[in-house]
Structure 1
Amino acid sequence: MTEIKTIIFDLGAVLIDWNPHYLYETIFEQEAERHHFFQTVCTSDWNEEQDGGRSLHEATELLVTQFPHYETAIRAFYGRYPEMLRGPIAGTVDILRELKESGNYGLYALTNWSAETFPVAQEQFDFLTWFDGIVVSGIEKDRKPFATFYHKLLRRYALNPAECLFIDDNLRNVKAAEELGIRSIHFTEPAALRSQLIQYDVLPE
């Protein structure tokens, strides 16, 4: 099997604790209300359009027009965006630090993130400077799980997919990477990730 030379990380829910519920727990007291809002108004499909390059203004006004009675809650999604970022996922950041300090691997990030909100994360999380390169979907106007987005990273940094290991919390994105010949780990929590990296001989036991 080809030696792993490059580790590619997803960011949200792998290294950064991002969750809209952190904000909306302060807006809707009942869990059922939050569930309804995310299923019918600020849906994951709607959010992914911003990850793919749609402007926050366009996205917000679209929903306000469709759901005027939710206007305040809709505008909070990006108006109070920093409240969705709770902090780093410490165990994964520790792993990233170990990989960086080892000097054995190229380290890259491939993230679905709006170009307009990504600077908020860059300002808050110093470890984003540890990467040799970060490809942001909102900037590229492309996103996971589309093969074209993975290819942007591979071409830009002259990476061989057979030498890469990809880590993402979204199984859909993991399967897409595997279809391109990239070994992948479905992230669930830091301890499991560490065990899997040991199995790949990326980290020492």
Structure 2
Amino acid sequence: MQGIKHIIFDLGGVILNIDISRTARAFEALGVEDFGKHYSQAHVSTLFNDLETGRVSEAEFVHKMKCVLPEGVTDEQVIGAWNAMLLDYPVARLQLLQQLRNQYDLFLLSNTNAIHLAAFNKILEKERGIPSLAAFFDKTYYSHLMGCRKPEPEAWQMVLDQNGLKPEHTLFIDDTLPNVEAAQKLGIRSIHLQSPATILDIFKPKG
């Protein structure tokens, strides 16, 4: 951590527990064949990419998903299946963020969408009584509001430029290797967080 003044965190798999297979199973139960071909951590099809960059709205996404589902599937069922991947916030990770804010500038950079943003803030409020992840960060960046997503270099550049951050003083933590490699190309010190390790392991006191 020598020389680090700013930390940029990914959300899913880093702070929030997620399980994409739960969404795959939920959509397949509704009638989508082989959901994983269209959406996975490493790959997203055009529709999901457009949702995560704000090019399609929540309503458009639901409508397009219903076009490939059996008649009678409701909007609520589509949204429920899409949100099934969002699990919980381990309290120790949230406590760590609160501690780190005393020493570093903290930022969140997440590939996400309007449906998930509402859902994971709702989970946080229900579990911890905190209405928004913004409480833990100096600033939050969500791909659907930015118009770009990781691993596009514009995503990190926006965070750096808007906050006057120098890459060499910035640490980025993500559980997806292409995102880590893209950040490193910009000169940002980066850590690929691989399960079962968590952010608690990264900041564990030495000795």
Shorter-chain TM range is 0.7 to 0.9
5 Å-filtered alignment, 1:1-205, equals 3-23=3-23, 25=25, 28=28, 36-40=34-38, 44-45=44-45, 46-53=47-54, 54-65=56-67, 67-69=68-70, 72=73, 76-100=77-101, 103-125=102-124, 126=130, 128=133, 129-189=135-195, 191=197, 193-197=199-203, 203-205=205-207
- Consecutive unaligned residues in structure 1, runs of 5 or more: none
Give the fraction of aligned pairs with identical amino acids, expressed as a percent. Answer: 27
Poorly superposed stretches of 4+, deviation over 6 Å:
none
Aligned residues: 195
Deviations 1:42-94 (A, max 9, x none): 973232321111212222333433x2448739973424544432211445334
Contact 1:27 1:73 in 2 (8 A): no
Q: 1:27 to 1:146 in 2, by over 3 A?
A: closer
Report the TM-score, using the length of structure 2 for normalisation. Answer: 0.77
In 1, Cα distance between equivalents of 2:189 and 2:72: 43
Query: What is the alpha-carbon root mean square deviation over aligned residues?
Result: 3.2
In structure 1, C-alpha distance between the alignment counterparts of 2:5 and 2:39, rounded to whole Å: 42
Please state how far the C-alpha of 1:14 moved relative to its aligned partner. 0.9
Structure 1 position 120, deviation (Å): 2.4
Which shifted more, 133-142 or 115-124?
Answer: 115-124
TM-score, scaled relative to structure 1: 0.78
Q: Give the conservation status (yes or no) of the 8 Å contact 1:52–1:141.
A: yes
Compared CA separation, residues 20 and 75, structure 1 to 2 (3 A): farther
Counterpart of 1:118, as a letter, is L
The question of whether the paired residues in 2 share the 8 Å contact of 1:56 and 1:78 is answered with no
SS at match of 1:17: coil
CA deviation map 1:131-161 (0-9, x unaligned): 1110111111111111111111111111111
- Do 2:15 and 2:93's aligned partners in 1 also have CA atoms closer than 8 Å? yes
Q: What stretches of structure 2 of length at least 5 have no aligned partner?
A: 125-129
**Richer in helix (by share):** 1
Q: Secondary structure at the match of 1:16?
A: coil
